[in-house]
Amino acid sequence: MNCEENKDLAHRQHVKYFMRFLNVLPSSLSSHDTTRVTIAYFAVAGLDVLGAISSISLELRSRIVEWIYRLQVVPDKATGDMSMCGFQGSSTVNIDLNADNNHYRCGHLAMTYTGLCVLLSLGDDLSRCNRKALVEGVKALQTEDGNFAATLSGCESDMRFVYCAAAISYILNDWSGFNIERANDYIIKSISYDYGIAQCPELESHGGTTFCALATLSLTNQLDKLSIEQVEGLKRWLLFRQVDGFQGRPNKPVDTCYSFWVGASLKILDSLHMSNYANNRKYVFETQDCVVGGFSKWPDTCTDPMHTYLGLAGLSLIGENGLSEIEPALNITKRAYEYVKTLHETWSTES
């Protein structure tokens, strides 16, 4: 239930809210059990944005880290094949697997990306990651047109997974599994007539996939591949997504999560300051439950960990007090991002 005067961040309640999701998955989210890593990501990253990562005890941190590593798919012992490597979203899918059918285990790009983010946010040095295998797993999923599939076991392929592949490659500081030129060509072809960016070429522009495309160009240092006309058109399209909060597409209702997806896109283009911070903030706070904690996509609807994290991340982008700064392209805190850069330096001295 939302408060009548919902003008301040319910910091303590949001910390408790995320901690609950790290201990038990409520029945309302049971359908998301096979993607449990993403829920852990929203909770851990959310606590990090709140500056409350210390709320996770050392014992619980260790349990989470061990759980993530158990979901790592390693190279096939018999053949050395790495094409299936990555992280799974949950141990649920392994219930019936034994040594004879273990080859059915398969990594997933979104789970690999969010799994790595959880490990980094908790201070793990990724030393137990088979970085070569993860990169080969990314490489196996890129299509001829530059797009990426989510998993070799059969799944959709679109801009979301182009971004996940780019983020994984950036975190691991290894682009050998990511054909940058081919991916960027796919991104350019997915720019629509209105300058927003779609899931795939000739589809409708979308705020979430526009973020995925721009973040990929940022991570690959390829933003200069956009023409001046395309950049200005993108800024206009993104700014026109603001009503009070932000919407993902024209003529759609505003939604808390787009305060990040659209806000981060504008931040990458150095144009977020052109939006109305006060109206954005007012809408996001209308979706806050300051009794139980959490944010929802719309006012007076059920909260969930995704909209709670993305609401906080969107508020962080506009400088909300009490929140840690976000690195928009990787969608982790600056603290975690600086730790990634430290790991890169360590790896470069080892090689």
Confidence (pLDDT) at 155: 81
H/E/C letters for each residue in 29-76?
HHHHHHHHHHHHHHHHHHHHHCCCHHHCCHHHHHHHHHHHHHCEECCC
Report the distance separating Cα 173 and Cα 158, nearest Å. Answer: 23
Q: What is the pLDDT of residue 305?
A: 97
Which residue in this structure is represented by tokens 């993403």? Answer: 38
pLDDT tens-digit map of 120-149: 999 999 999 999 999 999 999 999 999 999
> Percentages helix, strand, coil for the chain, rounded to the nearest 5?
55, 5, 40
Q: What is the mean pLDDT of residues 247-251?
A: 97
> Which pTM does this prediction carry?
0.96
Q: Residue 345: what residue type?
A: E
pLDDT tens profile 271-327:
999 999 999 999 999 999 999 999 999 999 999 999 999 999 999 999 999 999 999
Buried/exposed code over 170-186 (b: 16+ C-beta within 10 A; e: otherwise): bbbbbbebbbbeebbeb
What is the maximum alpha-carbon separation in the chain?
63
Q: Give domain limits for the chain.
A: 11-93+102-350
Handedness of CA 238, 240, 245, 247 (dihedral sign): negative
The whole-number pLDDT of residue 1 equals 44
| Residue 218 pLDDT exceeds 70 | yes
Least confident of 17-31, 89-103, 239-253: 89-103
Mean pLDDT of 181-197: 97
Average pLDDT over residues 17-27: 90
pLDDT at 34: 85
Instruction: Tokens for 213, please give them.
Output: 């495309």
31 against 4, higher pLDDT: 31
SS3 149: strand
Q: State whether residue 148 is helix, strand or coil.
A: strand
Using alpha carbons, list the distances in angstroms from residue 339 to 44, 106, 110, 121: 15, 28, 21, 9
- C-beta atoms surrounding 156 within 10 Å: 12
Residue 274 DSSP label: G
- Specify whether the CB–CB gap between 42 and 306 falls below 8 A: yes
Smallest CA-to-CA distance from 44 within 53, 34, 35 is with 53
CATH number of 11-93+102-350: 1.50.10.20
